[in-house]
Amino acid sequence: ITILAVSLNRIAADVDSSVAVVSWAITGPMLAFGVVGPLYGKFGDLHGHKRMFVGGLAGAGVFAALTAVAWDAWSMVLFRTLSASAGAATGPATMAFITRLFPAEQRVRPLGWWTFVSAGAPVLGVVAGAPLVDQFGWRVIFAVQTPLCFVGAVVALVLLPDTQRRTGVRFDLAGGASLGVGAVAVLVAINQGARWGWTSVATLGCFAAGAVVLAGFVRIERRTAEPLMPLQWLRTRNVAVPIATQSLTNAAYMGGFLLAPLVLDDLLAYSASKVGLVVIARPLAFALLATLAGAITVRVGERPAATVGTAAVVASMSCFAVVGSDSSTAFVVLALALSGVGFGISAPALTSLVASAVDEQDLGVAGALQQLMSQLGAVLGTVGMTSVQQVVQARDGLEASFLPAFALGGTLAVAALVLSTFTRSLDR
């Protein structure tokens, strides 16, 4: 997705479309990835997470192959969205495997390695993907992804143990449908609000529809004997607080992810190659710190780790807010690295808290709920920060536009920092 984001102009020209249409190849998967996660998580809890993990990878591979041969913009968007929807099954399953295979006091270490892999992928995308796209075109992204998905599915099929399946339990179809529809409505409103207008009928209608449907979801969950999401989680400190903290942290992190290249390209006038090298500082710091986060968290506890991590994201937003046309490359690298360090430390600790606060039979749904809220935060941060930057740029000019945008990111990160102090470290 890192390479896809910087290839939109080329793809639009190749399929004779516009960037606005082709950008749905990023927006659509972003919406789908978060929304279908709870359904996969519940299916995994009921029918085994190995089945969901292997099937998700295989499905992602099939639709990646179809994306590589897409004949127009909308077919590419459709296949890309279906591929992400299938791949979303791996997130809840991964969390369920790690939390079942390791005792509570050891989980943060493998969760750190999981975060390392997730954070290291963008580094590989920038370093290896860009030359491939330059040489062979954008379709190579999906041509390479296809065999990797199938190889991953075969390895998982051979190596992963299956998880215990629950019997005599019915799937909460009404709850799943209402959560999916409500979440999509809210995500679309946030994602398209800047384009449609925040007071437009379409935006307000999506917000209203989402609120109504999600209220219906709560009523359904209260009545059903086997709810998709146990509502008592909303009153559980080490579930609700870590999930909200990670969502807000991800909002600042992803908002900065989209704005940082604009700072480097438009404000500092870096070359394309220099931009690629400099932005690696964030995912690289993220990946490296994630591997150490387990050892750090075991020593100091989950709450201090989460607090330090979110504080580093606050510092990153503060640095970016004061970047000017005369700022040094070292200062920009520091700002990027602080963001990566912060998320790399906080994410494994927060995930460990959630995993240890729910029953083992609900680990898949808990992981999916965390995935959904993190995705909601990402959409909120990217849309909010980029919208503020564009509005201020049109009024006051480019250099003045980044301060309020990153100030919004800093405000979200400060809220995450405050929330992190209400978590409770695990007993060791």
Tens digit of each residue's pLDDT (9 = 90 or more) over 91-136: 888 878 887 788 777 777 787 787 777 766 766 776 677 677 778 8
Contacts of 200 (CB under 8 A, 6+ apart): none
Least confident window among 197-211, 361-375, 413-427: 361-375
Q: DSSP label at 215?
A: H
Q: Say whether pLDDT at 411 is over 90.
A: yes
- Alpha-carbon dihedral of residues 246, 249, 251, 257, nearest 10 degrees? -120
Tens digit of each residue's pLDDT (9 = 90 or more) over 127-161: 677 677 778 888 988 998 999 999 999 999 999 88
Q: How confident is the model at residue 2 (pLDDT cuts 50, 70, 90)?
A: low
Residues present in the chain in total: 428
Least confident window among 43-47, 266-270, 345-349: 43-47
Mean pLDDT is highest, among 8-12, 207-211, 299-303, for: 207-211
Q: How confident is the model at residue 428 (pLDDT cuts 50, 70, 90)?
A: low
Quick one: tokens of 177? 């449908």
Please give the pLDDT value at position 166. Answer: 64
- Tell me the mean pLDDT in the region 198-206: 90
Contacts of 403 (CB under 8 A, 6+ apart): 321, 322
Answer whether 180's CB lies under 8 Å from 372's CB.
Answer: no
Q: How confident is the model at residue 171 (pLDDT cuts 50, 70, 90)?
A: low
| Alpha-helical segments (H) within 125-236 | 130-136, 140-159, 173-196, 201-223
CA separation for the pair 308, 77 (Å, rounded): 39
Please give the pLDDT value at position 245. Answer: 95
Tens digit of each residue's pLDDT (9 = 90 or more) over 46-101: 778 898 999 999 999 999 999 999 998 889 989 999 998 899 888 888 878 887 78
Q: How confident is the model at residue 420 (pLDDT cuts 50, 70, 90)?
A: very high
Q: How confident is the model at residue 170 (pLDDT cuts 50, 70, 90)?
A: low
- In terms of Cβ atoms closer than 10 Å to its own Cβ (0-12, 13-18, 19+), residue 164 is exposed
Please give the pLDDT value at position 272. Answer: 66
Tens digit of each residue's pLDDT (9 = 90 or more) over 245-297: 999 999 998 888 878 878 888 888 887 678 777 888 887 887 777 777 777 78
Quick one: tokens of 212? 């109504």
- Counting residues of the chain whose pLDDT is more than 90, the rounded percentage is 27
Please give the pLDDT value at position 332. Answer: 92
Answer whether 95's CB lies under 8 Å from 324's CB.
Answer: no
Q: DSSP label at 322?
A: T
Please give the pLDDT value at position 387. Answer: 80
